[in-house]
A and B are shown apart, each in its own frame.
Chain A
Amino acid sequence: DVKVTQSSRYLVKRTGEKVFLECVQDMDHENMFWYRQDPGLGLRLIYFSYDVKMKEKGDIPEGYSVSREKKERFSLILESASTNQTSMYLCASSLTYNEQFFGPGTRLTVL
């Protein structure tokens, strides 16, 4: 079974802090994605990566950056957290351009 793990289920940070969200997949998938999910808005793509050291902006990249130094790991960075970044963050991976497998999510609260 594909397994996607995220570093934290719940996280509370202060405004202005730098926040790292880690995602690891164990199925040698090329493609990895970071989404945020807010009530009534569905999943919105922040960044994605099709290969190591490669990244592409999604629909809402402002205020975020990513890093993919190894194939299995895709990190999301909030350089200076703000209250409007309070959300559920979901990481996903896929082998092809089809089914995406999701991690359990990180619920981030910025105070």
Chain B
Amino acid sequence: GQNIDQPTEMTATEGAIVQINCTYQTSGFNGLFWYQQHAGEAPTFLSYNVLDGLEEKGRFSSFLSRSKGYSYLLLKELQMKDSASYLCAQGDSNYQLIWGAGTKLIIKP
């Protein structure tokens, strides 16, 4: 099967920048998604990349390199409310999503 790998947990300081990496298998690739999930809540969509490069959306940016099977989510000017899990998901050739286990981001004052 296809594996999505992302770190289990990261810690960062309020006001700082953090980069969450995600690697995936390149076969059957159909886009890369990032979702945010606060504890006890449903995932919410953050970004979608299908072409190489950086997509910026306010404090959040997402990068994709299709040749390397690599993506990252960049969060700037971290706020306490950014404490959440960040889920990386790959669209496959059947247009379903293959999900990583998520990265729990802890923000400290």
B64-100 contact mask (Cβ, 8 Å, vs A): 1 or 0: 0000000000000000000000010101000111011
A-B contact pairs, 25 of them (CB 8 A): A40-B8, A40-B101, A41-B101, A42-B101, A43-B43, A43-B97, A43-B99, A45-B96, A48-B96, A58-B96, A90-B43, A97-B91, A97-B95, A98-B31, A98-B33, A98-B48, A99-B33, A99-B48, A100-B45, A100-B97, A102-B43, A102-B44, A103-B42, A104-B41, A104-B42
Chain A minimum-CB-distance residue to B30: A97
Chain A minimum-CB-distance residue to B88: A42
Q: Cβ of A43 and Cβ of B91 under 8 Å apart?
A: no
Question: Which A residues have a C-beta under 8 Å from some C-beta of B?
Answer: 40-45, 48, 58, 90, 97-105
In the assembled complex, which residues on chain A have CB atoms less than 8 Å from the CB atom of B43?
43, 90, 102
Contact partner of B42 (CB less than 8 A), chosen from A90, A97, A99, is A90
B interface bracket (residues with beta carbon within 8 Å of A): 20 to 34
Q: Cβ of B42 and Cβ of A98 under 8 Å apart?
A: no
In the assembled complex, which residues on chain B have CB atoms less than 8 Å from the CB atom of A97?
30, 91, 95-96
Q: Cβ of B91 and Cβ of A105 under 8 Å apart?
A: no
A42-B91 contact given A103-B42, A104-B41, CB 8 Å threshold: no
